């Protein structure tokens, strides 16, 4: 449904249009001329702050690219030279600046000793498919950044796995301690080094022409910058798909921040709040307050 509950496919005031349900379904990689290598540190708040941009790219330009998450080699958030208080302050500043909540109190109350257990768990989940792996990565970061869960603990990694629809928990438990998951992480670390990635997040975009080098974007930028990079590698202007209805977007992603909705639909946080209140009254979503801002959980019919 559209925001105004009419039969129209567009809301003229907000400029939001609906599209076919298929726009939310993944397309086979062979149909996509571009590939985005997304290098992240799972504990990096800047990488977490990239999520709204990635959602917007996937919403409007899903038919042009496939995405691959790569765990970076220099896992910066656990460097011994940085105190837990400094890490906490860095998280708080990033959350305040970017609008994607991350609670720095975890470093004072439940500090993470190492990122490697979580990194191996992410690769273990990917052994069951790319989509499963992406869902696991998202949920794991929600537990850490929002709920202050220590993702160095195996019980947290298993709790995360239990919440992922379609994930085989028995296989995941085996893979969590398997040589295959370790090799997959080692491959990511090797790729990071070979591509010269030194900070996170970093995106490297490739096209189907093996003679063209990938185009690298280091750091966090506005949405238009990433579109220009994709166009440069595609050698043509990208034609965006019409945006999906907000309810379909929420149903597909299940749990999203006001910031993510604002970025995807070009709205202010105030406008997002106004529209989401309507959906709360209709029992489509429920509000989930976090330290910085608000997340929304879809509770409508699946």
Which residues of the chain, if any, have pLDDT below 50?
A: 1-30
Domain count, the chain: 2
CA dist 95 and 51 (Å) reads: 13
The separation between CA 201 and the C-alpha centre of its own chain, rounded to angstroms, equals 11
Q: Structure tokens of 211?
A: 């003679």
Residue among 40, 223, 211 at smallest CA distance from 141 = 40
Shared domain check, 277 and 178: no
What is the predicted pLDDT for the residue at 282? 96
Shared domain check, 280 and 221: no
Q: What is the CATH number of the domain that holds 258?
A: 1.10.10.10
What is the predicted pLDDT for the residue at 210? 81
Cβ atoms 103, 145 nearer than 8 A: yes
Averaged pLDDT score across all residues of the chain: 88
Is 187 domain-assigned?
A: yes
Judged on CB neighbours under 10 Å (0-12, 13-18, 19+), 100 is: buried
Q: What is the CATH number of the domain that holds 126?
A: 3.40.30.10
What is the predicted pLDDT for the residue at 73? 61
- Three-class HEC string of the chain: CCCCCCCCCEECCCCEECCCHHHHCCCCHHHCCEEEEEEECCCCHHHHCCHHHHHHHHHHHCCCEEEEEEECCCCHHHCCCCCHHHHHHHHHHHHHHHCCCCCCCHHHHCCCCCCHHHHHHHHHHHCCCHHHHHHHHHHHHHHHHCCCCCCCCHHHHHHHHHCCCCCCHHHHHHHCCCHHHHHHHHHHHHHHHHCCCCCCCEEEEEECCCCCCCEEEECCCCHHHHHHHHHHHHCCCCCCCCCCCHHHHHHHHCEEEHHHHHHHHCCCHHHHHHHHHHHHHCCCEEEEECCCCEEEEECCCC
Is 241 domain-assigned?
A: no
CA dist 11 and 245 (Å) reads: 10
What is the predicted pLDDT for the residue at 79? 52
Q: Structure tokens of 267?
A: 């709205």
Is 132 domain-assigned?
A: yes
Number of CB atoms found within 10 A of residue 3's CB = 20
Shared domain check, 189 and 256: no
Domain hosting 267: range is: 246-298
Is 169 domain-assigned?
A: yes
Is 26 domain-assigned?
A: no
pTM of the model: 0.87
What is the predicted pLDDT for the residue at 11? 37
CA dist 138 and 122 (Å) reads: 10
Neighbouring-strand partners of residue 204: 37, 216
Digit-coded pLDDT (tens) for 207-235: 998 888 999 999 999 999 999 999 999 99
Q: Percent of the chain scored above 90 by pLDDT?
A: 80
Which positions ≥6 away from 49 have C-beta within 8 Å? Answer: 94, 98, 99, 100, 220
What is the predicted pLDDT for the residue at 209? 87
Shared domain check, 144 and 89: yes
Is 92 domain-assigned?
A: yes
Shared domain check, 257 and 230: no
∠ Cα 182 184 190 (to 5°): 100
CA dist 272 and 265 (Å) reads: 9
Shared domain check, 257 and 223: no
């Amino acid at each position: 449904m559209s925001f105004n509950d009419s039969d129209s496919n567009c809301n003229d005031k907000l400029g939001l249009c609906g599209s076919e349900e298929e726009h939310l379904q993944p397309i086979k990689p062979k149909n996509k001329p571009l590939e985005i290598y997304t290098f992240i540190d799972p504990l990096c708040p800047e990488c977490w702050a990239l999520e709204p941009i990635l959602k917007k790219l996937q919403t409007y330009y899903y038919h042009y690219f496939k995405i691959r998450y790569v765990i970076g080699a220099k896992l910066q958030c656990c460097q011994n030279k940085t105190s837990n208080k400094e890490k906490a302050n860095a998280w708080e500043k990033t959350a305040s600046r970017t609008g994607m909540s991350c609670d720095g109190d975890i470093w004072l109350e439940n500090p993470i000793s190492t990122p490697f257990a979580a990194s191996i768990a992410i690769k273990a989940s990917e052994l069951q498919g790319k989509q499963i792996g992406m869902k696991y990565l998202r949920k794991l970061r929600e537990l850490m950044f929002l709920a202050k869960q220590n993702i160095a603990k195996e019980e947290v990694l298993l709790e995360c796995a239990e919440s992922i629809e379609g994930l085989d928990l028995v296989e995941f438990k085996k893979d969590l301690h398997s040589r295959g998951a370790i090799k997959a992480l080692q491959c990511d670390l090797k790729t990071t080094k070979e591509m010269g990635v030194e900070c996170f997040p970093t995106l490297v975009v490739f096209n189907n022409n093996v003679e063209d080098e990938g185009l690298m974007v280091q750091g966090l930028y506005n949405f238009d910058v990433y579109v220009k990079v994709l166009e440069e590698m595609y050698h043509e202007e990208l034609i965006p798909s019409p945006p999906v209805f907000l309810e379909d977007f929420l149903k597909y992603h299940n749990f999203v921040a006001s910031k993510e909705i604002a970025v995807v639909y070009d709205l202010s946080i105030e406008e997002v709040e106004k529209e989401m209140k309507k959906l709360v009254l209709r029992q489509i979503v429920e509000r989930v307050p976090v330290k910085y801002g608000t997340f929304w959980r879809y509770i409508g019919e699946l």
